Amino acid sequence: MIAANGASIRHPANIVLLCLAGITAPAFVYWMDYQKAHSRPALIPNDLWRKDAFSAICIMVFIAWGVLNTLEYSFSL
């Protein structure tokens, strides 16, 4: 919605969604720590982020995804 029209960020629905995204990211980290502390399965254990190989691969995938989105946007013009 924001990519189509920059002024649409002022709509209440978009503001609520951005706030929810900002709240759920730290909540996910806390929930994974809680699951691990209680010997339950965690989707992505927080210990995994401390491994250099895993973190580097995640960063590379994120950058590649951004590049592909940029190319898709550029080619659609």
What is the distance in angstroms between the CA of the first residue and the CA of the last residue of the chain? 18
pLDDT tens, position by position, 9-60: 788 888 898 899 999 999 999 999 999 999 999 998 999 999 999 999 999 9
pLDDT band at 3 (very low <50, low <70, confident <90, very high): low
Q: Which distant-in-sequence residues (6+ apart) come within 8 Å of 75 by Cβ? A: none
Predicted TM-score of the model (pTM)? 0.64
In Å, how far from its chain's centre is CA 33? Answer: 18
DSSP annotation of 77 reads -
The answer to whether 3 and 9 have CB atoms below 8 angstroms apart is no
The residues spanned by each domain of the chain are 1-44, 45-77
